[in-house]
Amino acid sequence: MSDSDSPSVHKDFVRQIIDGDNDSGKWGGVVHTRFPPEPNGYLHIGHAKAICLNFGIAEEYGGKCNLRFDDTNPEKEEVEYVESIKADIRWLGFDWEDRLFFASDYFEQLYQWAEQLITDGNAYVCSLPLEEIRSGRGTPSEPGTDSPYRSRSVEENLDLFRRMRAGEFDEGDHVLRAKIDMGHQVMLLRDPIMYRIRKVEHHRTGDQWCIYPTYDFTHGQSDSIEGITHSICTLEFENRRPLYDWYCDTLGIHHPQQIEFNRLNLTYTMMSKRRLLLLVNEGHVDGWDDPRMPTLSGLRRRGYTPASIRSLCTKVGVTKHNAMADLVLLENEIRDELNKSADRRMAVLNPIKVTITNYPEGQTEELDAVNNPEDESAGSRKVTFGRELYIERDDFMENPPRKFFRLGIGREVRLRWAYFITCTDVVKDDDGNITEILCTYDPETKGGDAPDGRKVKATMHWVSVDTAVDATVHLYDPLFTKEDVDDVEDESLDWKSNLNPDSRKTVTGKLEQALAGSESGYRCQFERLGYFIVEQSSQPDALVFNRIVTLKDAWAKANKKK
């Protein structure tokens, strides 16, 4: 590769293993990985890490990465999920080319291998009820007891297993178990289940099968069939590696190396598909693609870019111990990217009216505003100034503390790209609430510079009342109030008690006219507020924006601390 002379490109332990294999010639220099999602939910940012690892490694080593759906449990799996997963991987920027596979494509081969194990005396049909299989397995400290069916003859096992396939039995009547060791220290090796009867339609094979293989009896063999060299999975599969190895070895087939890495955890959210499904089903969010969800479709709708997510995935690293990455890491990625590329616009989200008392009634003027100070080529646009304006309510204080250097009575500030204004008075309603701010402007400061060189402490955004465009703006905050979603006060509470009731606030904002008619997917910075994207449901004449992320705000942070 080209940048091999860049000083110290750290390689994680997975890549180090691959380097070692390439040096020793273990796989003849071949690197072939796979990403194996189960189509029972939407992909989340944790999956993005696995995708970046598997597809990324294939790219770096001149190898290939397959997409394989691990669809052995028809009760939970749906075509909708298959399609969303494919779309999300493509959006992230990866391509499986012609290597789209399904574990269900291998059902017949798997079945033949099961018969082989039976024939070799390595598997048997067990007719114990579920509860007895469980109790018979013993506990980690006590060995299990052999099933009474463990010694069935090969002929009887074969006959029973074929009749299971033929649909002669009901669910739960029989299972096929591997004959390993009921006293093994690893519980998983105490005669694990290989096949169970499920009279359920499968989203791809329909009613062709009424017995389905378990994950363990499927995964390694699927890797084997596809010629995978490095089967990379998350830490919770570490315990299953002995079984993965046992099936490959006992069957005498190509035996990929399973390597486990730490999954991505992020503060203020969680990655459990079961829980995410619950959030959707119980209506805590609007759907899998709700902009508050850590799903790829949610992050996409929120306004995150594929590059920002990929960048996070490389920054968090790959190790073997459980880690929880700070959400601000992700936020910084999108801030960095959009700071360089996004147009600046002015929008007032909590408006209060300002009247410039010495500005002629009925007069307006067009002023030049720079689109992006970080990118000269972005050019400029016109903004309209007039006698009546909106500013942010938070930018005015009647009795400002010492450190507050925005607008107050008698204070002078700059309106971005416009004039210096000085507050002379406020108008209040009968309850004493401020309804309007009265100011004068200095015509000499047009564009925002004072010829006499005098300084102001604050520059504020604003929008003229006459040209303001209304828009619905969704302000998002983290879905949970705790860094660790499982951090609950007492036993009676669960993670749902940490749901943030204020994770979405919706306001009507006043936008500068350049934003009129914006198309869905357009990202810009609302100056001093944050980065926003035009919502996918937005219409040119009924604008809807999502806040992607706020700008860093030292003033807000200082206040929060008090």
Partner RNA sequence: AACCCGAUAGUGUAAUCGGUAACACAACAGAUUUUGAUUCUGUUAUUCCAGGUUCAAGUCCUGGUCGGGUUACCA
Active site residues: 38, 263, 273
Among 20, 14, 19, 24, residue whose Cα is nearest residue 4:
19
Of residues 67 and 290, the one with the C-beta less far from RNA? 67
What would the x/- binding string for RNA be over residues 270 to 299, using CB under 7 A?
Answer: ------------------------------
What would the x/- binding string for RNA be over residues 17 to 36, using CB under 7 A?
Answer: -------------------x
Q: How far is the CB of 503 from RNA (least distance, A)?
A: 21
By the rule CB under 7 A, 206 interacts with RNA: no
By the rule CB under 7 A, 82 interacts with RNA: no
By the rule CB under 7 A, 366 interacts with RNA: no
Q: How far is the CB of 411 from RNA (least distance, A)?
A: 11
What would the x/- binding string for RNA be over residues 438 to 457, using CB under 7 A?
Answer: ---------xxx--------
Q: Determine the Cα–Cα distance for residues 11 and 18; give it in Å rounded to an integer.
A: 10
By the rule CB under 7 A, 495 interacts with RNA: no
Of residues 95 and 394, the one with the C-beta less far from RNA? 394
Among 47, 112, 104, residue whose Cα is nearest residue 74:
104
Stretches 54-62, 372-380, 474-482, 493-501: which one binds RNA (CB under 7 A)? 372-380
Stretches 115-123, 161-169, 347-355, 520-528: which one binds RNA (CB under 7 A)? 520-528
Given a contact cutoff of 8 angstroms between Cβ atoms, the answer to whether 224 and 254 are in contact is yes
What would the x/- binding string for RNA be over residues 306 to 325, using CB under 7 A?
Answer: ---------xxxxxxxxxxx
Of residues 115 and 375, the one with the C-beta less far from RNA? 375
Q: How far is the CB of 110 from RNA (least distance, A)?
A: 11
Q: Interhelix angle for 241-251 vs 107-119, to 10°? A: 80
Stretches 82-90, 214-222, 473-481, 509-517: which one binds RNA (CB under 7 A)? 214-222
Q: How far is the CB of 474 from RNA (least distance, A)?
A: 20
Q: Determine the Cα–Cα distance for residues 520 and 533; give it in Å rounded to an integer.
A: 8
Query: Hey, which residues between 128 and 167 contact RNA (CB under 7 A)?
Result: 129-130, 133-134, 137, 139-141
Q: Determine the Cα–Cα distance for residues 37 and 211; give it in Å rounded to an integer.
A: 21
DSSP H helices, 253-363, are 273-281, 296-302, 306-316, 327-341
What would the x/- binding string for RNA be over residues 381 to 420, using CB under 7 A?
Answer: ----------------------xxxx-------x-xx---
Q: How many CB atoms lie within 10 A of CB 483?
A: 15
By the rule CB under 7 A, 374 interacts with RNA: yes
Q: How many CB atoms lie within 10 A of CB 204?
A: 18
CA separation, residue 104 to residues 69, 101, 158, 428 (Å): 8, 9, 22, 71
Of residues 74 and 298, the one with the C-beta less far from RNA? 74
The one among 33, 66, 73, 231 contacting RNA by CB under 7 A: 73
Question: Which residue type occupies 458?
Answer: A
Q: How far is the CB of 235 from RNA (least distance, A)?
A: 6
- Alpha carbons within 13 angstroms on the beta-carbon side of residue 462 total 34
The one among 2, 4, 8, 363 contacting RNA by CB under 7 A: 8
Q: Which residue has the tokens 């999920």?
A: 81
Q: Determine the Cα–Cα distance for residues 77 and 331; give it in Å rounded to an integer.
A: 32
Of residues 139 and 492, the one with the C-beta less far from RNA? 139
Of residues 218 and 546, the one with the C-beta less far from RNA? 218
Residue 359 carries which DSSP code?
A: S
Number of residues that bind RNA (CB under 7 A): 90
Q: How far is the CB of 265 from RNA (least distance, A)?
A: 8
Beta bridge partners of 472: 508, 544
Q: How far is the CB of 252 from RNA (least distance, A)?
A: 23
Stretches 92-100, 297-305, 334-342, 536-544: which one binds RNA (CB under 7 A)? 334-342
Q: How far is the CB of 541 from RNA (least distance, A)?
A: 27
By the rule CB under 7 A, 53 interacts with RNA: no
By the rule CB under 7 A, 478 interacts with RNA: no
- Between the two ends of the chain, the Cα-to-Cα distance in Å is 52
The rounded radius of gyration (Å) of the Cα atoms in the chain is: 31
Q: Determine the Cα–Cα distance for residues 281 and 285; give it in Å rounded to an integer.
A: 9
Q: How far is the CB of 223 from RNA (least distance, A)?
A: 12
CA separation, residue 348 to residues 384, 386, 511 (Å): 14, 16, 6
Stretches 156-164, 234-242, 427-435, 535-543: which one binds RNA (CB under 7 A)? 234-242
Of residues 252 and 401, the one with the C-beta less far from RNA? 401
Q: How many CB atoms lie within 10 A of CB 129?
A: 10
CA separation, residue 175 to residues 232, 385, 466, 508 (Å): 29, 77, 74, 60
Of residues 542 and 558, the one with the C-beta less far from RNA? 558
What would the x/- binding string for RNA be over residues 164 to 203, using CB under 7 A?
Answer: -------xx--x---------xxxx----x--xx------
Q: How many CB atoms lie within 10 A of CB 548?
A: 24
CA separation, residue 98 to residues 64, 65, 252 (Å): 11, 10, 28
Query: Which token pair is 33?
Result: 């990985």
Could you give the maximum distance between any two Cα atoms of the chain, in Å?
Answer: 102
Stretches 8-16, 158-166, 284-292, 379-387: which one binds RNA (CB under 7 A)? 8-16
Question: Which residue type occupies 419?
Answer: Y
Is the four-CA dihedral 550, 555, 556, 558 of positive or negative sign?
Answer: positive
CB-count exposure of residue 16 (10 Å: 0-12, 13-18, 19+): exposed
Of residues 206 and 321, the one with the C-beta less far from RNA? 321
